[in-house]
Amino acid sequence: MKVIEYNRCGGPEVLECATRPDPECGAGEVLIAVEATSVNPVDAKIRSGGFPGLPCSFPAGTGRDGAGVVQEVGEGVDPGLVGQLVCYLAQRGVATWSTMLVLPADQVEPVPDGLGPVEAASLPLAGVSAWAGLVEAGALGPGESVLVHAAAGGVGSLAVQIARARGATVWASCSSGNADYVAGLGADHVIRRDTLAFDEAGKTFDLVFDLIGGKIRERSRNVVRPGGRLVGLNALPFTNANYRDDIRECMAEVQPGTGALRALLDLVASGDVAAQVSQVLPFSDFVTAHSLIETGRTRGKIVLDLRG
């Protein structure tokens, strides 16, 4: 099989395409022929050495999610999965940028009818991150108000849709160039961050979902209502400046096998959430993919297509 890996931290140019033995499928596992794989900002952060403690060793792989067709199942796994298109979120450290992949069966989900591999590959990590922040950690309910930062990005574009589907009033922060796009996702109100600071808009919220960190995290505390929630992802740096004891602040735990991916795919099947793919590149353009994602200016998701 072909796998994308690197032997030292650095820029996108450290990535290489290597040939490795095909993996073998064990009990409780599935063997997948990968058809598309997702590009995530965290992939570039780890590769550059900007994520403490990662990678753990070299050569290191990249990627955590994607989609493909099940070729074989191990003992204890439903044989009906063979031949099905599935998407997956792997544990951190399992490199998914490869042409073949073995995963525990509870980390894969059949793809709804009508959803292709490129769209399916764009959903798992971004969608589970959005679900973990809004639903699991944020407990967002109908009638509540939520502010989603970085609403045009991979996680943000799905978070806006999930929040809308849960009956919340959705405020979204993004650049003016993405305002119409974010409104089209279902945001009730868009704050154009280049013309008005979110904490100068005169609004407070039941939940703020912070996808940026740093100073944005500090300032976000000022717009959470007493008794409200501020939920973040692993966006560095972390800080306790401007801490408030009248709100609940926590980090979303993004893990495979929790049921979040299935819940997201059910929303896709119902039409409440749509995959947001901005660019599709061939697998051979893996260096370009990392270069694009680390600009921090991509809309929706970039996906690598392994077919052909």
Structure tokens at 281: 């590149």
Residue 236 has pLDDT above 80, yes or no: no
Asked whether the predicted pLDDT for residue 237 surpasses 70, the reply is: no
Facing residues of 248 across strands?
229
| 4 strand-pairing partners | 17
Q: Give the mean model confidence (pLDDT) for residues 221-229.
A: 97
pLDDT given at position 27: 98
242 pLDDT band, cuts 50/70/90, is: low
pLDDT the model gives residue 233:
87
Confidence grade of residue 93 (pLDDT, cut at 50, 70, 90): confident
When pLDDT is cut at 50, 70 and 90, the band that residue 244 belongs to is confident
Per-residue pLDDT, averaged over 134-160, amounts to 98
Determine the pLDDT at residue 287. Answer: 98
Q: Give the Å distances, CA to CA, from 40 to 151, 241, 246.
A: 15, 28, 34
Show the beta-strand stretches assigned E in 90-188: 100-104, 108-110, 145-148, 169-174
With 0-12 / 13-18 / 19 or more C-beta atoms within 10 angstroms meaning exposed / middle / buried, residue 18 is middle
Amino acid at residue number 224:
V
Domain 2-123+275-305: state its class. alpha beta
What are the pLDDT digits (tens) for 148-166?
Answer: 999 999 999 999 999 999 9
**Please, which pLDDT band fits residue 49 given cuts at 50, 70 and 90?**
very high
| pLDDT of 297 | 87
Q: Supply the pLDDT for residue 296.
A: 86
For the chain, the domains span: 2-123+275-305, 126-251
Tokens standing for 104?
């525990």
- The answer to whether the CB of 225 falls within 8 A of the CB of 197 is no
Q: pLDDT digit string (tens) for 259-290?
A: 999 999 999 999 999 999 999 999 999 999 99
Q: Above 60 in pLDDT, residue 238?
A: no
If you average pLDDT over residues 111-122, what whole number do you get? 97
pLDDT at 239: 57
pLDDT of residue 234: 65
Residue 100 vs residues 139, 160, 204, 292: alpha-carbon distances, Å: 37, 33, 47, 25
Asked whether residue 84 carries a pLDDT value surpassing 60, the answer given is yes
pLDDT at 243 over 90: no
- The pLDDT of 81-87, averaged and rounded, is 98
Architecture of domain 126-251: 3-Layer(aba) Sandwich (3.40)
Q: What is the pTM of this model?
A: 0.95
- pLDDT value for 276: 98
User: What is the pLDDT of the chain when averaged over all its residues?
Assistant: 95
pLDDT confidence of residue 185: 98
Q: What pLDDT score does 51 carry?
A: 85
Across the range 284-305, mean pLDDT stands at 95
